[in-house]
Amino acid sequence: MARKVGLDRRQVLDEAATLADAHGIEAVTLARVASALGVASPSLYSHVASLRELRRELAIESSTRLGAALRDAIAGERGVTAVRAAARSYRAFAREHPGLYSTLNSTPGQGADPEVYAAFAAVLPDLAAVLGGLGLPEEDTVPLIRTLRSALHGFVSLEASGGFGLPEDVDASFEVLVEVLVAGMLARR
């Protein structure tokens, strides 16, 4: 295979993300990324040191993209409307980018990998502001962010794995989940 002139790290990451979304994160290998880019596998080593590093970079990319989607969704929104917009944006991201989304399943502690931690934590001030806009006590911020993430992750994970086999509308069920979450949050005021 001839070396592709001008190949850069961004192209490698974008191709890996495309493969992850199309075939799952486990399908992302250096050989597969190289093949998709039309280069030999060793050509990737000038851009990523290993498959582990590539997957780490995908986690950062995923977190960055999800954070941007959430910020876009809540821009100009306040209160309950912002919570609903964030929830819908989260679900849309998970549906559109299932491979990337799967890299968000574990969040490292700050000391374990500061760069990944920073990428994952970047959206927290935005979510805290949304919750603050509901008039919730500040000490509830982290527990409610965890609650929101847990509920949304559970839903999107079940949806992705075909876990909703009943004939009722899944979109309507998601809206019920969001309203239950909103009601629970408002009850804490």
pLDDT in tens, 122-143: 999 999 999 999 999 999 999 9
User: What pLDDT shows up at residue 2?
Assistant: 44
Amino acid at 119: A
Tokens 């917009």 correspond to what residue?
A: 85
The residues, ordered by sequence, that sit 6+ positions from 46 with a Cβ below 8 Å of its Cβ are: none
CATH number of 55-186: 1.10.357.10
User: Tell me, what's the pLDDT at 166?
Assistant: 93
Q: Classify domain 1-48 at the CATH superfamily level.
A: Homeodomain-like (1.10.10.60)
- CA 140 to centroid of chain Cα atoms: 23
CA-to-CA distance for 87 and 63, rounded, in angstroms?
Answer: 15
Answer yes or no: are the C-beta atoms of 77 and 88 closer than 8 Å. Answer: no
pLDDT value of position 38: 94
In three-state secondary structure terms, 13 is helix
Q: Residue 29's CB: how many other CB atoms inside 10 A?
A: 14
For the chain, residues with pLDDT lower than 70 are 1-5
Nearest 5°: the CA angle 170, 172, 174 is 70
* 24 φ/ψ sector (left φ>0, alpha ψ -120 to 50, else beta): left
Q: Which residue has the tokens 């997957």?
A: 55
Sorted by where each begins, the domain ranges of the chain are 1-48, 55-186
Q: Which two tokens stand for residue 8?
A: 């850069």
Number of Cβ atoms within 10 Å of the Cβ of 45: 11
In order, the DSSP letters of 47-92 are T-S-HHHHHHHHHHHHHHHHHHHHHHHHTT--HHHHHHHHHHHHHH
pTM reported for the whole predicted model: 0.91
Give the separation between CA 37 and CA 2, rounded to whole angstroms: 11
**If you search the block for the tokens 């191709």, which residue do you land on?**
15
CA 43 to chain centre: 29
Segment 51-66, tens digit of pLDDT: 999 999 999 999 999 9
Tokens of 95: 């549906």
